[in-house]
Amino acid sequence: MRQSRFVLHALALIGLLAGPCPLRAETGAASPLGVSIDDFSYVDTSGEVIDQTAVHQKRLDAFMAALRADIAAEPRYRLVPSAAPAGEAQIKVVGGVQKMSTLVQWAKVAVIDVGASRVLYEKLYTFRGDNDEAWDHARMFVSREVRAVLAAAPPTAPAAAVAPTGLAVFEFELEDNSAAPSSGFAGSDAATLADVTQGVRDRLAQSGRYRLVDTGGAVAEPVKARALRDCDGCEAAIAQQLGADQSLIGVIRRVSRTEYTVGFQVRDARSGAVVSRGDSGLRMGADYSWTRGAVHLVGDRLLEGGAQQ
């Protein structure tokens, strides 16, 4: 079966195992295995005229709730929230669903041993139909196979704890390429960009992988002018002066009032080398959707291992 862009995206989720996670030492009787199940993504490429976004989200939510309930019902497992600190979950389940046509959907699922940094199970399913019965049947099948993988998973060895990286997240910048950009920097744009920056900082802080460094004391002109994207990597030296290990800058590029792209770049503060970057490609949505797009991009490309250099 020919793979789609969705399948490649699902494979990128497997990069989640790149970062080591500390595990609790076992003493006495075996403790329940910590299992985290991330919300699956959903993509509809069927080309159907009727907008079924709300219906699909409702069915996906029900799918995820039932899958988590199946895992939590077994005493050998301990369900861990996706936002829990690193080390809480020994096993992570990730995946996504793509609707290919009116009657055919794909589901990509992977089970990852976080401590051992290896994929235990990875499979692409197909299922017919797009109604409650079809979704429930698919969930039962996926749940059965995932639980079989968990039951056969060998004990994981503890990994050494890793100190969080000091990261200076500078304010996101706006590059307005729309046909009729407003003159100057609109107050509404400034407020929206502040929301974007805060959303990204919150997502990074929640991951436990980063220690956010305050950038409020930065007085360099590119920082004040919101022009770090054009300063040839000067943000790295500024971040080092602030006591950070790495710097992150982000840019919202407005193509039109309903189209935009998001990009970010992370540099090593000492060497200035680019260690991670990501670009969303063209997205639909006005400024209210910028935060969601930026948080998703950073979570997918930086935290979950899919960043491109």
Tokens (6 digits) for 58: 């409702």
Q: For the chain, where are the alpha helices, taking DSSP H only?
A: 5-12, 53-72, 132-152, 187-207, 221-224, 234-241, 290-298
264, HSE (Cβ side, Cα atoms, 13 Å): 33
User: How do the pLDDT tens digits run along the chain, 309 residues long?
Assistant: 444 444 344 444 434 333 333 333 333 445 788 899 999 999 999 888 889 999 999 999 999 999 999 999 988 899 999 887 777 888 999 999 999 998 899 999 999 988 777 888 898 889 899 999 999 999 999 999 999 988 887 655 454 556 899 999 999 999 998 865 555 556 788 999 999 999 999 999 998 899 999 999 899 999 999 999 999 999 999 999 999 999 999 999 999 888 999 999 999 999 999 999 999 988 888 888 999 999 999 998 898 754 444
The pTM of the full predicted model, rounded to 2 decimals, is: 0.49
Q: At what angle do helices 53-72 and 132-152 cross, to 10 degrees?
A: 30
Going along the chain from its start, the domains and CATH numbers come out as: 33-152 (3.40.50.10070), 165-303 (3.40.50.10070)
Tokens (6 digits) for 96: 């996504």
